[in-house]
Amino acid sequence: MLLLAIYGSPRKNGNTDLMTDSFIEGALSAAEIDLERIYIRDLQISGCLGCGYCDKHGVCVQQDHMQKVYPLLEKAERIVIASPIYFYGISGQAKLFVDRSQALFMRKQKNSSEGRSISSPVARKGFFLCAGATRGKRLFDCPVLTAKYFFDAIDVAYEGELCFREIDEKGAVLHHPSALEDCRRKGAAFVGVGR
Ligand SMILES: Cc1cc2nc3c(=O)[nH]c(=O)nc-3n(C[C@H](O)[C@H](O)[C@H](O)COP(=O)(O)O)c2cc1C
């Protein structure tokens, strides 16, 4: 089983990096898995142009680092994506990445309109990790919706999320009473036997 972990914060070793590392630690403790980590901050990727090329051709016209990512997004049986809250959404970097998954969605549409299904024979699952500084009741509404539709676009079933409020300074999540242990536990369950 391939677990693809996508780090969506521009801040290296920040809170969502730590959450993702803990999630992976749990996953590795629970099952024999292959692991690929993607740090969006290290990729050179442009925003979606809305050019419609993928509608016609099923692939993105832009030749940047996303071209190496697409096969992983299509292949991984488990995908976890993490982002801090930026202005009540995911980070700009993570949003560019998510927007570029449109090419995979359009490929799926194109194939299905031409009578070819590209549904994976195995059940693929996705999970979302998020942290934000404030306490608002609806703090995670927008990023959770974005994560759900990202996974839907790439044909991955949304398994759930772990979101933590009042996490701001770099490393603040280390002082949360349960966050990293919660991430470990969810990571283990995410790849657990029989799932
Ligand atoms: C540009 C920017 C925008 C932010 N917007 C919000 C926000 O709207 N709501 C919030 O609660 N926190 C906001 N934050 C705080 C981050 O979500 C918080 O510091 C988070 O823990 C950072 O995670 P990281 O260490 O993984 O980058 C913002 C931070 C930055 C830098």
- pLDDT tens for 148-163 read 999 999 999 999 999 9
Q: Buried b vs exposed e over 61-87: b needs ≥16 C-beta within 10 Å?
A: ebeebbeebbeebbebbbbbbbbbbbe
At 194 the pLDDT is: 52
Mean pLDDT calculated for residue range 76-83: 98
Q: Is the CB of 139 under 6 A from ligand 1?
A: yes
Q: Is the CB of 134 under 6 A from ligand 1?
A: yes
Substitution candidate for ligand 1 out of 83, 86, 144 with most atoms within 8 A of CB: 86
Mean pLDDT calculated for residue range 21-35: 97
Q: Is the CB of 87 under 6 A from ligand 1?
A: yes
Mean pLDDT calculated for residue range 79-85: 99
Q: Is the pLDDT of residue 179 over 60?
A: yes
Q: Is the CB of 83 under 6 A from ligand 1?
A: no
Is CATH 3.40.50.360 the right assignment for the domain spanning 2-191? yes
Whole-model pTM over 0.85: yes
CA atoms within 13 A on the CB side of 140: 21
Whose CA is closest to atom 29 on ligand 1?
A: 86
